[in-house]
Amino acid sequence: MAAFFFVAAFLSFAMEVRVTGERALGRSRAYWVFAALYRAGVTAELLPIVEAIPELAAQVARPFDAEEAAAAHQGLFGFQVFPYQSVFLGEDGLLGGTESERVRGAHRTAGYAPGAAADDPDHLAHELALLSFLCGAEADAHADGRAEKAAVARRQQAAFLRDHLLWWLPLFVPAVARQGDGVYAALAGLTWALVIDHWQDVGAGRSASEDAHWAGTNWAGPAGRSASEDAHSAAMDPVGGGAALGAGASEDAHWAVTNLGGSGAARGAGASEDAHWAAMNSAGGDDGAMGAGAGRWLAAHLLLPVRSGLFVSRADLARCARQAGLPHGFGDRRQMAATLLDAATRYNQVPPVVDALGALVAGQAGFWDAPANAVLPAPARSFWRARLAATTDLLASLESTR
């Protein structure tokens, strides 16, 4: 009888190992496909795989045109939503820098040479490829009966999700969904579902003490500040007193704002709201129009994800302008935001612009309210909610100056 229970227990363990290994292999393959699509878009070579995924197949234009597909990919990820961690988490919002090197370090630690050697290690394609590599390593370890090696791979997966993707994908996914490209909206949704399922398997359920340790030792805001410290900073100084502002990737790689409209353009820590907005609107008229300094300051805040809590694309700005019946101009996001806010002042249309921008903020806040996202680590949720609250307060203050 004892032998029977031993055999039954062994078979149960063996089945669990097999299922776990197959799950890891499946994740590895899914991450590889998604990485290829973010890197190159839907190509003739990838089309058969895309057509085997119902959510993507339903969105691919028929007949398939490789040139049009390439143009759509470049239009979205080259001009609208830039798929780089540094754009979303960097304190200056520019490509490269500390965030890029932080990801390169993760590639090196994992032993993933392609990512470590890449010029853009923080591109989403490289980050997903790293997870594919780690999941494949876990699957191989299970197949070889190396439980300790599988456990190491799983810890590495959890660490990378925790310290990188779970911080910036919550802003990237809604931003892509807003742009109206069915293929990539579906891809972003599938990517997020895969990441959430993966996190629930390898990382969710940590103790409160582990989560507190993470908040203090891993990325929790600009310059490594804790979430609570950064939330306070966001309330007192959303722009950061002249911090460099990234307008995106290719169009604004070298742009930085060092003087946002003069001495009154940055809110001093501890300054009262009324005094701040009085200074900001000193260029406005008696009709309550927004001052030029306030417009530039607001644009700087909105276009820097780590300050505003969301990513605002060219198309988002154009949509806000249409909703307010105003011109949005052309050029990079910086120029479009300046045109929109200048027009709002000139034509006394600040309220509809504030409403349109507020809808973007509300949409991002709705992402955090989704029940499925409650499993995300508390530090990330707290940090981004604080950012969105600061942006909401900023918009309310702006409208109150009318």
Q: 3-class SS at 39?
A: helix
The Cα-based distances of 314 to 127, 255, 292, 376, 382 in angstroms read 25, 16, 21, 29, 27
Write out the H or E segment, with its range, that includes residue 200. helix 182-202
Question: Per residue in 30-78, pLDDT tens?
Answer: 999 999 999 999 999 999 999 999 999 999 999 999 999 999 999 999 9
- Name the band, by pLDDT with cuts 50, 70 and 90, for residue 111: very high
> 84 has which bridge partners?
123
Work out the number of other CB atoms within 10 angstroms of the CB of residue 310.
Answer: 25
Query: 206 near 359, Cβ under 8 Å?
Result: no
Query: 84 near 95, Cβ under 8 Å?
Result: yes
Question: Per residue in 352-383, pLDDT tens?
Answer: 999 999 999 999 999 999 999 999 999 999 99
Query: 192 near 169, Cβ under 8 Å?
Result: yes
> 123 has which bridge partners?
84
Closest CA to 316 of 270, 357, 368: 357
Statement: residue 129 has pLDDT above 60: yes
Task: Tell me the domains of the chain and their CATH numbers.
Answer: 16-204 (1.10.3480.10), 227-400 (no CATH)
Report CA torsion sign: 272, 278, 279, 280: positive
Residue labelled with tokens 């417009």: 295
Query: 325 near 290, Cβ under 8 Å?
Result: no
Residue labelled with tokens 């923080």: 122
Q: Which amino acid is at 332?
A: D
- To 10 degrees, what angle do helices 333-346 and 314-324 make? 10
